[in-house]
Amino acid sequence: MKQEDLISIGEFCRHYSVEVSFIRALHDAELIDIIAIRDEMYVRHDQLPLLERLTRFHYDLDINLEGIEVINRLLQRIDEMQAEIIALKNKLRRFKRIEG
């Protein structure tokens, strides 16, 4: 993995005024992955939207870690269901073309 694909947790925390302990708590709850390189912690660039969302839940909406875990699980389930609906709609369109 390239260094440019990683975001420093220290920089993220400074930019968003977030405590490093909160990021560690998200990692301990297995909500995000942390990569350690030479005593510095990073997250993958593709996890940034998730990290920003979880940070807003906690700091803007005052939701505790347990609530964040539940909300995140529900949002993931909704995303899975939406993908399944799209797949089913596509199958249905193919069947209609075959019949019609």
**pLDDT band of 5, cuts 50, 70, 90:** confident
**pLDDT band of 96, cuts 50, 70, 90:** confident
* Mean pLDDT (whole number) for 5-17: 95
pLDDT value of position 26: 97
Contact 18, 10 (CB under 8 A): no
Evaluate if residue 46 carries a pLDDT over 70. Answer: yes
Largest CA distance in the chain: 63
For the chain, the DSSP string reads --GGGEEEHHHHHHHHT--HHHHHHHHHTTSS--EEETTEEEEEGGGHHHHHHHHHHHHTT---HHHHHHHHHHHHHHHHHHHHHHHHHHHHHHHHHHH-
For the chain, give the percent of residues with pLDDT over 70: 95
Choose among 70, 69, 30, 64: nearest CA to 47. Answer: 30
Evaluate if residue 3 carries a pLDDT over 70. Answer: no
Q: What are phi and psi of 61, to 5 degrees?
A: -105, -5
Torsion of CA 87, 32, 9, 20, to 10 degrees: 140
All domains in the chain, ordered by first residue: 3-99 (1.10.1660.10)
pTM of this structure: 0.83
**pLDDT band of 30, cuts 50, 70, 90:** very high
